[in-house]
Each structure stands twice: as structure tokens, then as C-alpha cells.
Structure 1
Amino acid sequence: MALYEYGSLAYRRAGPEAAGIDVDIVAEVARRTGCRFETFVDSRVRTWTDLAHGSLDMTVSAIEMDERKGFARFVIYMTGRNRLLVRSDLPDRVATLDAFAERPELRLAVVKGFKHGPQWDPWIAMLHQQGRVDEYADARQAARLVALGRDAAFLSEPVVWKRILTDSKLQGRITVIDAFPGDNYAAGFALSRARVREDDARRIQEAISAMRSDGTLLKIFSAYLSRGEALSSLP
């Protein structure tokens, strides 16, 4: 199972061991199903390439999209939406997407291989065509380049951004633009159709459903987020 470092979802503690919401969910599903998961941290681009080619079993926090359903089954355990986080120390404050788009000197930092939502992705593609998008290996690097002034903004969400903003020293230095309030996504495990048997997928789905019903999912999210953020992250 491929993890990826993304704020409170998964991060490295002292040493190579990972911690976070996804890590705790995987551990609880393993306990309930008896499955043994071999987890490792990988890039999002390689993860999706390997899933599509049938050389990886599973990944986490995967956004469900029609183009991915051909090679993966989805077991949803979270929901959310992205916002644009813009440096608040720009010469002229940016408070809307239009204001950002109208200033050609402003660049956007994104994580290579990420999908952001059906309304966000066309807007990002427009900036791509203008040569105003820089792609980075992970969200921490994207935020760091925004903090250093290379880029003016990046996309993130409450479930992850507290840790990212703290690590990059951007806390208190950004303006949050919630441009598409209805652009919510559903995410969870993506299970390879080629490699994961249907009965195993069903057991994982049953475990997640039980965790939602008995409050375990809320407890896991609440260990890393405020109660309001945790509640809003549940499907």
C-alpha cells in the first residue's frame, strides 16, 4: 500500500516511521480484517502509474474519479475540497481567483500527479497554458517555495494545511480563497482491480463502514484536527 506525505494525512516522525490519519486508518482496517498491509511512502505520480499498470495493490486518500474506476475500486472514508492559499504579503492583496488570474507575474505551485477537483482542474489547466504553474514532488516542497517567494500560491485543504503551514513557516501569512464551495471530492482507498480480490475489497469496505458507524473514523480524524474539521472530513 502506497502512502504519500501530505500534512496530517501522513508524515514522517523521527526516523523513517510514518504517522497520521491515513496511517491510523490502515492500522485499524488491518486489525478488523486480519489483512496484513505492507506500507511505504511513494510519489503520487508513481503511485497512480503503478496502479494503472497493475503493479501496485492499493493507495490511500485517493480521489474517486471516473477515469480511475476502470483500474481501481474505491472505498471512501473522507471528503473535502481544496482552497487557494495565497501569500498575504504580495504587493497588492489577492482575494479572488480573477484577481490572481489577471496578474501574469503570479505563479501557482502544485504537486505533480494531484487532482484537485472538477472545477479547480480546468482553472489550473488555464494557468498551465500561460506557463504559470510549477510542479513539485510533494505539498511540503510546494509550500516551501511559496514561503520563499518563488510562487504566490498553492492549493490545500483544512484536513492537511495546519501541519504544512507550520512546517513552511506560512502560518498567519496566507489568504484563503474558497472559490468553489461546491467542488467537494470523495476519497479513500483505491484498490487495484487487477490485484485485489473482490472478497478482500468487500472486507475492507465493511471495516470502513463499521468504523464510520461506531465513531472510530471520527476519533481518528479528531486526533489530528479540531472536532469541526474532523466532522466536515467525514463522508
Structure 2
Amino acid sequence: MNHLTPLHHSLIQVGLGVLASLMLVGSAAANCSRTLQVPILPSGLTVIVQGTNYSGIVPDFLTQVARKAGCKISYQLVPKSRQENMFENAQADLLITAVKTARRDQFGVFVPLVQLRASLVSIEHGQPAVQSLKDLMQNPSLKLAVVRGFDYGPVYQSIVDDMQKSGRLQIENDTISIARMMRNNTNYVTIMAPTIFAGAIQTERKLHDLGGRIRYEKLEELPWTESGIYISNRSLNESDKNLLKATMDKLASSESVWKAYQQYYSIDVIKLGLRPREAPLPQPEVHATR
């Protein structure tokens, strides 16, 4: 028998209506409040740009983030140095493919994806090995070409400043330009993550002839560091920022990101300068005095 009175039915209907409303509010609260503005630049196989199509490891990761967080992303092709400026001036919501630095920490919350180590990259032509920044500085025939806006920490910035003071620095807007310069003049070398340079060689058809001629050398002064995505403290409201941080952290802590790097890059390139984000960062060596 049905013991519910018309009043009970009415109360149940009201209760169901309230529950539906709460579910709608909860659903709306789980979405970004607006479209995310993200400056982007081709970066090897990590970011691939073909017309208005964006693919590669980081855009694929952000597609997952957007789907799970209920967000929309608007990409804009922007040189690396301008990306930095936009992020600092609250004109960009995310700074992608970014190494963690103290300066960037002032403007955003960092989500690491991997660890990387920059190497000295050159065109093989029988030159002596460069094992330290001192070797680089003491070889006057070598010139350094760097991408404007790249930053691998204080040691990197220091060598860039020193090479500029010695008149041996060339600054370009992208890796492709640097690779072309190095092909035309083997006295030019660069310092960057091996994955970025190797990816540029693979994706730029006119540079395929460099494939077997690239030399990567570890510089003892350059440490392992974290690379990932910064979420703006200035352009986003607290709700959006927290939602993105939680979603990115959850996805980045899975094995999918590291597997994507392994899928896109060769084992040799990964061994040179890439590790999972969970790997412990080595501490600076302390040498005992006698």
C-alpha cells in the first residue's frame, strides 16, 4: 500500500527540485568561469603547431585538463619572451613548457610535469669536448646562440650574461632559427633541453640532414630542474586557480605524462636530459675540506 499523502508527494517533489538545483550549482562550480588564455610556441615534439591545430605532449595534456575541469582554452602563437611578459602582466592564464624559477614563482603556481637538464648542443665537426662552462668560456672560437625567453636557472643566466659581455652571444626567437645558424656555422653552440633541439630536428623537414651530426654534452654546472606549467596568480580568480591546480596535479601524478614523453622521444634523447617528475632532485655536492 502507498501511505504517502498528497503533502508527502509535494514535499518529495520540492526536495527533488532542490537536489537538482544543488547538482546544477555543483556542476557549474566545477567549471572554469571563462575561457583560458594560453600563449603557445612550437617546441620540438612537446608542442606541435600546424596551422590552428595544436598537438604534442603539453597540448594533449591540457586537452585532458580542460575536459576534466570543464574549461575551454584559447591558444595564441606568441614568441617565448613575450609569453613571459604576458604572464607577468596578467594577460596569460598559463605559462607552459616552463622551467621552475624563483622569478616565475612570484607570478604563478607551478605544476611539474617532468624533470629536465639542459645540455650544450653543437654540430659534430671533430671539435674537442666541452664539459663545463669554463671550457666554453675559454674557447674563443665558440659562440653561444640562445632562445629569447629561455631560462634554466641562475647558472644558465650567468653564462648567457658572460657570453654577452664577451661579444659571443646571439639571441634568436626560436629553436629552428638557432639550428639553421648552427648548420651554417659550426662555431655556434646552444644550451637547452635535448628534447627541444631533437624535436626541432625531427619536425622541421629542412633540418633532417642534421639528424646524425648533433652532439649533446652535459655541463657539470647545470643541475636537474623541474619543467611544467605555471598557473597565474594574477589573471585567474581563486576558484579557477584551485580547480586547475587540483586537476593538473592529479593528471600529472599519473604515468600518462611520462609515457607520452617516452612515446614522442627516443630513449637516447630521454637519457640525456629527461626524468619523471617524481624522481628526487639531486642535492648540491658538499666537498669536505682537508
Given the two structures, how large is their TM-score scaled by the length of structure 2?
0.73
Distance 2:237 2:187 in 1: 44
> Greater Rg, structure 1 or structure 2?
2
Distance 1:188 1:38 in 2: 19
RMSD of aligned residue pairs (Cα, Å): 2.3
Q: Residue 139 in 1 paired to residue 175 in 2?
A: yes
Conserved? CA contact 1:11–1:19, under 8 Å: yes
Q: Residue 234 in 1 paired to residue 269 in 2?
A: no
Distance 1:182 1:72 in 2: 24
Paired residue for 1:183? 223
What are the equivalent positions in structure 2 for 1:59-98 lying under 5 Å apart? 59-89=95-125, 92-97=127-132, 98=134
| Aligned mate of 1:156, from 160, 174, 192 | 192
Distance 1:53 1:39 in 2: 17
Counterpart of 1:119 in 2: which secondary structure? helix
Q: Deviations over 1:28-63 (max 9, x none)?
A: 111111111111221111111111122222221122
- Please list every run of 5 or more consecutive structure 2 residues that lacks an aligned counterpart in the other structure: 1-37, 279-290
Paired residue type of 2:275:
S
- Please list every run of 5 or more consecutive structure 1 residues that lacks an aligned counterpart in the other structure: none
- Cα 1:208–1:148, aligned 2, differ >3 Å: closer, same or farther? same
- Cα 1:219–1:120, aligned 2, differ >3 Å: closer, same or farther? same
Paired residue type of 1:96:
Q
Distance 1:126 1:41 in 2: 31
> Quick one: higher RCO (CA 8 Å, sep 6+), 1 or 2?
1
221-230 vs 24-33, greater mean Cα deviation: 221-230
Task: Count residues in correspondence.
Answer: 233
Paired residue for 2:236? 196
Conserved? CA contact 2:115–2:225, under 8 Å: yes
18-27 vs 205-214, greater mean Cα deviation: 205-214
Percent of residue pairs identical? 21
Paired residue for 1:22? 58
Counterpart of 1:143 in 2: which secondary structure? helix
Paired residue for 2:35? none
Q: Deviations over 1:177-226 (max 9, x none)?
A: 10137612212222221211222222222222222344222233233124
Distance 2:261 2:90 in 1: 30
- Cα 1:176–1:222, aligned 2, differ >3 Å: closer, same or farther? closer
Q: Deviations over 1:67-87 (max 9, x none)?
A: 222222222222201000122
Conserved? CA contact 2:148–2:171, under 8 Å: yes
Paired residue for 2:7? none
Paired residue type of 1:47:
Q
Distance 2:59 2:137 in 1: 37
How many Å apart are 1:130 and its aligned residue? 0.3
Conserved? CA contact 1:24–1:220, under 8 Å: no
Paired residue type of 2:42:
E
70-79 vs 174-183, greater mean Cα deviation: 174-183
Paired residue for 2:43? 6
What are the equivalent positions in structure 2 for 1:103-114 lying under 5 Å apart? 103-114=139-150
